[in-house]
């Protein structure tokens, strides 16, 4: 069963690395890092039209994914860093709406990471920094963590995972196990519903 797996968390917690490891466990999956959208916006983040342009590219990307006939059996692993602000919540909801429009399960993953470890990861050599638009400024990270709470969908399909002491491979496997349980549960529910209609 194909699905949308939405990995949300603060900058630098390891979303993309974990997503890539998860993709290895899910044949036919494709990783969509949020920077594939963010990096399309070639204006400064403090520009009045920045969020408007970012929303345009996000919606266009999600629409393309949701309506693509050539990727009907693809599982999408999407990464994001959405806060619980009205703007962040609305943007996160667009991912769930895209999954719903395609009739696929939407499985949100909320990553947690202690501040000290988050700082180590955000300044790690593997992030690349300005070359790819990723945050590497520790002070900005601290401000974000102090001022913003990451968005949560809630519900039984969501997994909250503390990755502070986990390797990317370990985190990916925990997500993989959760996805298996969710998809099996959804398959059983569909089967029961189909049998109920048959009896009726």
Of 43, 44, 39, 46, which Cα lies nearest the Cα of 61? 39
* pLDDT given for residue 63 in this prediction: 83
- The Cβ-side half-sphere exposure at 44, using a 13 Å CA radius, reads 3
Q: Residues 21-41: what's their mean pLDDT? A: 85
Residue pLDDT, tens place only, 103-159: 999 999 999 999 999 999 999 877 765 556 688 999 999 999 999 999 999 999 999
> What global pTM score does this model have?
0.86
Please give the sequence-ordered ranges of beta strands (E in DSSP) within 52-199, or none if there are none: 75-80, 106-112, 159-162
Please give the sequence-ordered ranges of beta strands (E in DSSP) within 61-147, or none if there are none: 75-80, 106-112
Residue pLDDT, tens place only, 108-121: 999 999 999 999 99
Residue pLDDT, tens place only, 74-94: 999 999 999 999 989 999 999
Evaluate if residue 55 carries a pLDDT over 60.
Answer: yes
Evaluate if residue 37 carries a pLDDT over 80.
Answer: no
Rounded to 10 deg, the angle between the 50-67 and 86-102 helix axes is: 10
* pLDDT given for residue 198 in this prediction: 46
Evaluate if residue 31 carries a pLDDT over 80.
Answer: yes
- The Cβ-side half-sphere exposure at 184, using a 13 Å CA radius, reads 6
Q: How many domains does the chain fold into?
A: 1
Q: Residues 8-25: what's their mean pLDDT? A: 97
Which residues does residue 4 pair with via DSSP β-bridges, in sequence order?
A: 76, 106
Q: Residues 27-33: what's their mean pLDDT? A: 92
Give the range of the structural domain holding residue 150, as residue numbers without chain letter: 4-199
For the domain that residue 79 is a member of, what is the CATH number?
3.40.50.300
Of 2-16, 32-46, 98-112, 184-198, the poorest mean pLDDT is in: 184-198
Of 175, 150, 163, which Cα lies nearest the Cα of 117? 163
Of 43-47, 134-138, 178-182, 194-198, the poorest mean pLDDT is in: 194-198
């Amino acid at each position: 069963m194909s699905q949308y797996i939405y990995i949300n968390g603060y900058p630098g917690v390891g979303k993309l690395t974990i997503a890539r490891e998860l993709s290895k466990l899910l044949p036919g999956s494709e990783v969509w890092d949020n920077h594939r959208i963010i990096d399309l916006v070639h204006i400064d983040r403090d520009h009045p039209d920045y969020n408007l342009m970012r929303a345009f590219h996000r919606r266009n990307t999600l629409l393309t994914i949701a309506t693509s006939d050539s990727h009907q059996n693809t599982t999408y692993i999407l990464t994001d860093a959405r806060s619980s602000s009205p703007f962040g919540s609305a943007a996160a909801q667009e991912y769930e709406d895209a999954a719903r429009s395609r009739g696929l399960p939407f499985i949100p993953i909320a990553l947690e990471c202690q501040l000290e470890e988050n700082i180590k990861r955000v300044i790690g050599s593997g992030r690349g920094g300005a070359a790819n638009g990723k945050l590497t400024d520790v002070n900005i990270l601290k401000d974000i963590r102090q001022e913003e709470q990451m968005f949560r969908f809630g519900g039984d399909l969501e997994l909250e995972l503390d990755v502070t002491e986990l390797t990317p491979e370990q985190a990916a496997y925990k997500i993989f196990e959760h996805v298996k349980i969710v998809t099996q549960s959804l398959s059983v529910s569909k089967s029961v519903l189909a049998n109920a209609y048959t009896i009726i």
